[in-house]
Amino acid sequence: MPMRTPQLSADDRELFHLVSRAAFANPFGDERDRVDRELAGRGGREEDILDRAVARVRRRLETLGGGETVRFDALRDRDAELVQHAIVFDVFHRWFGGMDAHIATQRAHGKAPVRAAFGPPMLAMLESHGFDRQRALRLVGVFFQMARAYFFIARSLLGASSSMRRLREALWNGAVTRDVGRYEARLVGRMDDFSTIVLGETGTGKGAAAQALGRSGFIPYDDKRERFTHAFTSTFLALNLSEFSESLVESELFGHAKGAFTGALAEHEGALSRSGPHGVVFLDEIGEVSIPVQIKLLRVLQERSFHPVGSRDEKTFAGRVIAATHRDVDRLRREGRLRDDFYYRLSSDVVIVPTLRERLDESPGELDALVAHLCERILGAPAPEVASDVSRAIERDLGRDHPWPGNVRELEQCVRRVLLTGACRPASHAAPTPTASWLDAIGRGDLPAEQLLALYCAELHRRHGTYEKVAAITGLDRRTVKKHVTAAAR
């Protein structure tokens, strides 16, 4: 197609300056919202703001091309950059629906990459606008990364409270940084060195936050096969370290050689080996691991290498690490249970997941919205009348001032309980309490220390419902708490 040399007017430059700000702004931040509104202009429905903004930019590009495809390389200096940003903005939104559809298709097909139908036409369009092949291929990968980041962050972490908006904004920054333009130019494929630690109380949704970030990494586009080199469904690997005994944690992380210890009848590949290029390993409950394991993980983070248990073979870790803990990391560090150097190496980014109490203080209506979302997820379809019934039961049985010590996880089980029984009073509210009897025994001096600790842990578990919460209160690790609660029940 013949190339026409476009001429930018002062109005064009003003418009495209706005587009540059929109193209690289965090979609969950206030700045992007302000720019979209300015681009859209006055009038129209609130929900159509983005569509109006995109349509305005697209019309201006078409006018600028005079019936031909406008090429940014036909301009010079700042004008070329402005038009390039407008093209990026237009192409991304033109294929946003196709990328969303591909996310659904890939999720349905599991861990093998499937053909990305949007890839060939997007690539051709970028090249027709003046991008060279290598840059166009990189942009296809970045666009799909941005689409995934938006999809998983927006759909997994609902809530209108300011703390949830900050969380979504932080996760987007963790995926593509606060400056997408600089990320695309300099940091694509280099994010493996940026570790993240997710902090928050038990039940707040740390796993959902980590998964949203973990599924939003860059994956190259293979134009010959018309698919991405890896399926995003295969790149996220989660490991809850509190589930394993001290002797098994190293094996699960680093793997082990055959005969490395009693029972090691075959070679075992650990999580760090199973995570390939563009992969993410999520280490939940990182506060539970011993100092020797922290030292070995520190080497992985610094040198990208490790040895399986019982082996001299050095292996390379090719992924990114996201860690999480419900514990107070400052306290862990003061007590010497978390090494400072290990924490600093983990915390390129620190993401705070708010408690449900904070969210409801900021936005009381968030409870009803969460109940509606949970009902829809549990029932498989929107059910506003059911959600209203559940909300009324919560207000009747727990009251609007309930502190939600178990956070969103507690709320989800409360919703399930209402669906089953019509009420959300936990069984422990009606069960006889052992408190008086064991307090009497303390007064008589009849309880050995071990039994006293077991009963105390059991009472805390009865009140709060999780081993993690009891561990946080007592300063014991989760496994020890579970042992004491089990002993008290005998």
Helices and strands in the chain, H and E counts: 24, 9
Residue 349's DSSP bridge partners are 196
pTM, whole model, 2 decimals? 0.85
pLDDT of residue 430 exceeding 60: no
Burial class (CB in 10 A: 0-12, 13-18, 19+), 117: middle
Phi/psi of residue 346, nearest 5 degrees: -75, -25
**Cα–Cα distance between 355 and 404 in angstroms, integer?**
9
SS3 state of residue 224: coil
**Cα–Cα distance between 8 and 22 in angstroms, integer?**
19
**Cα–Cα distance between 477 and 245 in angstroms, integer?**
12
Instruction: Give the model's pLDDT for residue 426.
Output: 58
For the segment 360-414, what is each residue's pLDDT rounded down to a tens digit?
999 999 999 999 999 999 999 999 999 999 999 999 999 888 989 999 999 999 9
Whether 433 and 462 have beta carbons less than 8 Å apart is answered as: yes
pLDDT of residue 429 exceeding 50: no
The mean pLDDT of 204-216, rounded to a whole number, is 97
Out of 84-93, 115-124, 329-338, 481-490, pick the least confident: 481-490
The fraction of the chain above a pLDDT of 90, given in percent, is: 78
**Cα–Cα distance between 297 and 345 in angstroms, integer?**
10
The domain segmentation of the chain, as residue ranges, is: 10-186, 227-352, 356-425, 435-489
Q: What is the DSSP string of 75-132?
A: S-HHHHHHHHHHHHHHHHHHTHHHHHHHHHHHHHHTTS--B-TTHHHHHHHHHHTT--
The mean pLDDT of 410-433, rounded to a whole number, is 78
Q: pLDDT band for position 95 (50/70/90)? A: very high
For the segment 36-82, what is each residue's pLDDT rounded down to a tens digit?
999 999 888 888 999 999 999 999 999 998 889 999 999 988 999 99
CATH homologous superfamily of 227-352 equals: P-loop containing nucleotide triphosphate hydrolases (3.40.50.300)
Q: pLDDT band for position 150 (50/70/90)? A: very high
Give the list of residues 6+ apart from residue 10 with CB closer than 8 angstroms, or none: none
Q: pLDDT band for position 83 (50/70/90)? A: very high
Whether 239 and 284 have beta carbons less than 8 Å apart is answered as: yes
**Cα–Cα distance between 338 and 219 in angstroms, integer?**
33
Encoding tokens for residue 413? 């089980």
